[in-house]
Structure 1
Amino acid sequence: MKISRLFQIVYILLEKKSITANELAEKFEVSVRTIYRDIETLTESGIPIYTTQGKGGGITLMDQFILNKSLLLEKEQDEILFSLQSLSVTNYPEIDEILTKLSHVFKKSDTKWIEVDFSSWGSDTKEKEYFSLFKQAILDRQIISFHYINSNGDKGFRRVLPTKLLFKDKSWYLEAFCLDKAASRIFKINRMSKIEVTDDHLEQMDNVETLSFSPPFHDDHQERADLVLRVSPEVSYRIFDEFDEEHITIEKDGFYHITISHMKGEWLYSYLLSYGNYLEVIEPTDIRKELKNRIQQMLNLYSNTKSNS
């Protein structure tokens, strides 16, 4: 929020030339002391701002200052606008307003050349709606509660201190300290429901000093499987989208030999089955057997005479 306030202060000064600290404090709903700290930050960054005391005094930007030539190179301006536009995916407040103002200052009109959207086609906007809630809870160090379903289908209630939002492998996750497990965890956002920000803050929790913020692991579980897969070239379009090239070897018959390590769980079986008869699990034998059992159960389901009648 401070960065956006700094840019807006410069924009105001470019338009008004002079304004009092009280006026800025009232506009941004912060203290006068905070405004003076912002001015100090701007002057240390090379922006020629000075203050005058007495009647008619205030905070002033030197007349010869031009933001787009004195502070930032053309490439740097483009990078700032691109970064702001990328932030729109998180529903970050005031992004559109800041983007419009800086586009005007930089004299650029072509700021809509890219749209960043991490959601899948046809999905709802649940993840986006949570960003503002999570961000505020992280900044205010507030405890949140929610219901969670892990990849095994197990349901549970959690109370956590959120610490970071993560985007990895096409999905958003929340890194948090789980008060129930007394350890760091990572939760997949689209498996969270009934999310509430509580009135509890970290400072109010008992035995805060005993909390151990060790590196988090995925909440589903830690057990992993070393997989050896044989995949048909007919689905090569998926292979290079979903696996690193270093894990792929092309066999003489054109099939792909893939070696990966992945967490075990219900999701893994669903994923492997999504390849249909184009993928065979060579190792490990327990996963190969489990897939065989599931395929047999599917066959039994469709062989049911009642369903076919």
Structure 2
Amino acid sequence: MQINRLLEIIYILLDKKIVTAKELSEHFEVSKRTIYRDIDTLSAAGIPIYTNKGKGGGISLLDNFVINKSMLSEKEQIDILSSLQGFNALNAVDVEPVLKKLSTMFHKKNTNWIEVDLTQWGSNSDNIDKFNLLKTAILNRNIVSFNYFSSYGKITERTIEPMKLLFKGQSWYVYGFCKDKGDFRIFKVTRMKNLSCSNETFIREVPKYSWSTTEDYNNKMIKVILKIEERMAYRIYDEFDEKDILKNLDGSFTVTMTFPEDEWVYGYVLSYGNYAEVLEPKYIREIIKRKFEEGLKKYL
């Protein structure tokens, strides 16, 4: 208890600059004599803490003590806080107290510059709960199980050793060792249902990975060239790199996209409705044409 109290006294002094013994004794619910003994202990340990008597006096630390004693540069301090702020914005558990303490220690008060919402518009908080469960499982090395909906429409039960959360192409993924397949795989978080975390742990280390070596991403990569009407400009600039966009004289756009070939790509092209036309390759153009015809039959 005394060690915790000594550390918190330092945090309080860093935050408030000067505090009276009476305020500290009331905060910790101990006597002022105990507080003065704590001050002597801190001073004996080399902490530059001192007291001033009289009106306006109290207990304080030498200015910039922690920063001067720190082995972290100004940039390193900012980088650490930025990482914690980003993690805290994801509603990660137990990050706020650490962020507050380090912000006080580094004398940095702007800790509210980023906000991230993992949920889609109109959805509930399931994705946040899922994210936190996966984060906890990764840190504690717990095995997780779930039902997975593949890009081919198949539903499978999976048990994995989760190792990393990845963000790519506006989506979250989990990278881990799939015990059902006996190999490393990547799973899209939104396709994971009935997620549960077991008490069983694993000891496997995280290897270097490649998107192209996983089940969902070792399909043949294809380059699709689309002509998209001008009124879809908001989507084009949201979803494509500027180097892949060519503005045509008639106001339309020619866009090049490269993805693994599967049903997702076909669905993505179809999501533009009659505002997009596949120029190349020809066989993808025929696939999209056939899917439009099959969809039209449902309305005839």
Under a length normalisation based on structure 1, what TM-score does the superposition of the two structures give? 0.69
Structure 1 match to 2:174: 174
Aligned ranges 1:149-164 → 2 under 5 Å? 149-164=149-164
Structure 1 window deviating more from structure 2 (106-115 vs 259-268): it is 106-115
* Aligned CA distance change for structure 1 residues 73 and 160 (closer, same or farther; 3 Å): closer
Does 1:14 pair with 2:13? no
Residue deviations 1:114-157 (CA, integer Å, cap 9, x gap)? 32334332232222212333233323433222110012211001
- Can you give the 5+ residue segments of structure 1 that lack an aligned partner in the other structure? 1-7, 18-55, 304-309
- Can you give the 5+ residue segments of structure 2 that lack an aligned partner in the other structure? 14-40, 49-61
SS in 1 for 2:197: strand
Please tell me the residue identity of whatever aligns with 2:134: F
What's the offset of the Cα at 1:109? Answer: 4.7
* Aligned CA distance change for structure 1 residues 58 and 163 (closer, same or farther; 3 Å): farther
What's the offset of the Cα at 1:183? Answer: 1.6
Distance between the aligned counterparts of 2:110 and 2:280, measured in 1?
A: 52
Please tell me the residue identity of whatever aligns with 1:282: L
**Identity rate of aligned residues, in percent?**
37
Residue deviations 1:21-53 (CA, integer Å, cap 9, x gap)? xxxxxxxxxxxxxxxxxxxxxxxxxxxxxxxxx
Aligned ranges 1:139-288 → 2 under 5 Å? 139-202=139-202, 215-216=210-211, 217-221=213-217, 222-288=219-285
Structure 2 match to 1:289: 286
Q: Give the RMSD, CA atoms, in angstroms.
A: 3.5
* Aligned CA distance change for structure 1 residues 201 and 242 (closer, same or farther; 3 Å): same
> What count of residue pairs does the alignment treat as equivalent?
254
Under a length normalisation based on structure 2, what TM-score does the superposition of the two structures give? 0.71
Structure 1 match to 2:45: 60
Please tell me the residue identity of whatever aligns with 1:220: D
Distance between the aligned counterparts of 1:57 and 1:108, measured in 2?
A: 24
Contact 2:90–2:116 (CA under 8 A) maintained in structure 1: no
Structure 2 match to 1:5: none
* Aligned CA distance change for structure 1 residues 62 and 281 (closer, same or farther; 3 Å): same
Structure 1 window deviating more from structure 2 (119-128 vs 275-284): it is 119-128
